[in-house]
Structure 1
């Protein structure tokens, strides 16, 4: 056992591997006080149960359309494996918020290995209470004060990261001038933003940074815009919705980049690749393309090396 070894822990939301895990995923997500922000635990639990009952079967059909499980699991495992081969001073783990592997098991492993120093890397470029805060709080509630912990800040301003994102977008089409680039971000209820969540501000900043990089590289698009996906329920959510933005682009070519995700998941592989593509066809979009997340790419591993120095 290397006494000096530290742990790097990747934090993400998780995703179901089968139908039983889908119920677990939905139940845990809607029991999260950062997602359903009512003060009463009993009321939140009741709301979660109602949502699970109403959505489980229809949600499972979505997962069946992408092979019966969320791609987030295999892709994150691949990233962890590559990082463990790259780093000598760190042992790398993953902790998911709503499906295994959970924080409790990870903390147990860290203690067994005698690891005392931990770096937490939330796999979200921008900060939100619903993602970053929720995942960090979850880990810390289990870890107590048993480790020296450092949390990596949101990295949407990181140059190497943004180089990777812009290069992926540019190389996905032959002529960028023929495409309307939409940065699609996971939506949030407006009331969460109004309560002080910085996510919308940071996503807007990120779009500005990426647009400036395109300008500096002398790369032009027909248009560049931001839209929000994944709205559920009757509350007012961040606008414009991706569907509304697509409505403005009839007969045009559209290129989508999932700006709020690092690892492809059901929101990218089902919603963007299947659901919104069908909407785009119905709306008369000429060509519709989605760019993959950075996933376990060598360039993103270089980004992580820089972030944890």
Structure 2
């Protein structure tokens, strides 16, 4: 029995924290500048020595890019809900995952921006969570995504006297739950189109090519996801392409590039395409603007006639069944113990 003056200790609970990349709080240049400063200062994201990179970042990029990026964010901002699509969708995913797992406490955070990982881990700890499953929503592992989430969580725990036990969702690039959800959603979306695609293009976020040679498994994970998805869809190799988008700077990135692929397809007689983005768990600026707007314009300008962007799994039925299944699997043993 606790003494009367003993500090209150919340009943032990299990927490789940889903994490995605992040978004600025508003589509305004000053706000985007703050977000980009945090994002592009991460040594996992830009692996250039800080003495060389920071003058470029602070002197050039943060004085030129924020206004351009703010305009792009404004073009896809969810005006009805007053937030970025990524944050809206991730919040919806957390709410539905909470409904599916009522015996645990579910929350969400962004690696960059708000709600932050330190803030939400502190909230879970204050709610009595002594065991926490962190779920980076990156199917394919990369040091610039999954690893930096783990880095940030570790930095937060470093300052805690009473640390919770921790589990981290591993990459799920080839998990049957994931491949099945992708295929189910893609089939439904393509069935609703008013045309039959000549080719399906799977677009993944790009990474500098040097990361592959340094041992990052991202390229291999992406290629395996693409192959398994193609097979699940029953599409032959001639009717499926894999590409990488969002390259930045002058260095070589993983190829083939999405924009170059879309430019070249009409010249091959391929004028009807559907683009899917399996590496993104929620629609964001890279999918809604770079693919759905820029990609469409690029393809039509090159002579294409029909273009469709197939949305991410988001908080749809197939995607939530997958997330619930992955979480339940990773929580095995903890939930049965009752705390």
**TM-score interval w.r.t. the shorter chain?**
over 0.9
* CA RMSD in angstroms, aligned pairs only: 2.0
1:208 aligns with 2:227: yes
The answer to whether the 8 Å contact 1:262/1:295 transfers is: yes
Q: Secondary structure at the match of 1:8?
A: strand
SS in 2 for 1:170: helix
C-alpha distance 252-38 of structure 1, shift in aligned 2 (>3 A): same
1:82 and 1:203 map into 2 onto residues whose CA distance is: 27
Post-superposition offset of 1:2: 6.7
**Partner SS for 1:238:** coil
Which residue of 76, 83, 88 maps to 1:74? 88
Any gaps of 5 or more consecutive residues in structure 2?
1-8, 330-339
Q: Using the TM superposition, name which of 115-124 and 48-57 deviates more.
A: 48-57
The separation in 2 between residues aligned to 1:205 and 1:84, in whole angstroms, is 30
Instruction: Name whichever of 85-94 and 260-269 sits farther off.
Output: 85-94
Shift of 1:67: 3.0
Question: Who wins on radius of gyration, i.e. which is larger?
Answer: 2
1:150 aligns to what?
Answer: 167
Give the superposition deviation at 1:17.
2.9
Q: Deviations over 1:151-205 (max 9, x none)?
A: 1111122222211211222222248864300000111111122211110011011
Secondary structure of 1:183's counterpart equals: strand
TM-score, length basis structure 2? 0.84
Counterpart CA distance in 1 for 2:211 and 2:257 is 17
Aligned positions of 1:115-264 closer than 5 A: 115-144=129-158, 146-174=163-191, 178-215=197-234, 223-250=239-266, 252-264=271-283
| Contact kept? 1:180, 1:223, Cα under 8 Å | yes
1:88, 1:4 → 2: CA distance?
15
Q: Is there any run of 5+ residues in structure 1 with no aligned partner, and where?
A: none
The TM-score with structure 1 as length reference comes to 0.92
Residue 279 in structure 1 maps to residue 298 in structure 2: yes
Matches within 5 A, 1:94-113: 94-113=108-127
Q: By how many angstroms is 1:221 displaced?
A: 8.2
Question: SS of 1:7's equivalent?
Answer: strand
Counterpart position of 1:292: 311
